[in-house]
Structure 1
């Protein structure tokens, strides 16, 4: 009896990461004044759905995907709970507190960035833009607030790069050929 084919959990992880990151940047650049949609997306799609995708990656033996999706899913949940805590005066976080939270995530991202360089070009590009975005947000929280807008535009590129990888997995499978290439690893 043939083994049943399973879906690739990366498509949901990349979709949740890309969409939630994109919508947060709409807020960061000033296009969307309310943070409300970010909180709800961050809790459900960027957070919970991405976390579940990460746990499913574990079953495929993909440690990179397992670590990335589970961790960034938890990032979105923590960030949104922090925003809600600030709104309702519960365990409030100052701008500097959020800055240190982001610095820790920057360091974490740097580790995954090193790994991404050996996977393929699309992954390396996505993690490079994510790392740059985190660094810009770090600086924005420690005295250079105008960099939030710069980070917003830069992280829109990151979000779209994640969607490219999602589209690549889906469309290459549907069409049975390499419609969207991943590119060679940046480090062999």
Structure 2
């Protein structure tokens, strides 16, 4: 499956724009929860569940599937994995699923186990960051700061598990600040894609990195011109 993108205005519709819009809305929601200083599940956090289910989960999954049909492997994997991440997160926050309440008063144990969730999502974002070095600077920057934010979020959970609530609050504030930078980059990327899709006379630079790392096919063609199709 090819990862090459066709011109946006020639697609039936560019599903990545929808994916990016929901991605930044759910990142803003996540950032606000983090900057509140605590990731302890409280009634006040339940008002954020809706954006996680629909903007963070459903819309991203739909956009990812459409990228699959367009033949864009990398956006497909990124969008669907993040859709799954936020649907899982919303499910955990939904009281009827009893995810945290099952631990009773042992809140520390819940955070000790749940901390692995952002940890491995951060590891996945490391892979995405490496792959994004063949896309553009803005996209790579988004993943760079997401890796940092998810790492800090993991630390926040584990500090709560050890009873260091005040330290966890400071770590979560730092995670929110880092996620804010990623969200700003995402909004910028969304605007640049919308302008490009509408063939707007003003285009925003995103820092093309397609020539930063030479592709395997380019290297093969360079060593053996007969491989060039």
What is the TM-score of this pair, normalised by structure 1?
Answer: 0.89
The structure 1 residue matched to 2:21, chosen from 15, 33, 50, is: 15
Q: Which has the larger radius of gyration?
A: 2
- Equivalent pairs, count: 182
Is structure 2 residue 154 aligned with structure 1 residue 154? no
- Give the stretch that moved more between structures: 119-128 or 169-178: 169-178
Is residue 107 of structure 1 aligned with residue 93 of structure 2?
no
Moved more, 89-98 or 157-166: 89-98
In structure 2, distance between residues paired with 1:163 and 1:128? 16
Gaps of 5+ in 1: none
Contact 2:91 2:97 (C-alpha < 8 Å) held by counterparts = no
CA distance in 1, matches of 2:73, 2:97: 38
Give 5+ residue unaligned stretches, structure 2: 1-9, 104-109, 160-166, 214-229
Cα displacement (A) at 1:184 = 3.0
SS of 1:7 mapped into structure 2:
coil
Q: Is 1:41 aligned to residue 51 of structure 2?
A: yes
Q: CA RMSD in A?
A: 2.0
Contact kept? 1:20, 1:38, Cα under 8 Å: no
Once residues 145 and 23 of structure 2 are traced to their aligned partners in structure 1, the CA distance between those partners, rounded to angstroms, is 13
Q: Supply the distance in 2 between the matched residues of 1:70 and 1:56 (Cα, whole angstroms).
A: 10
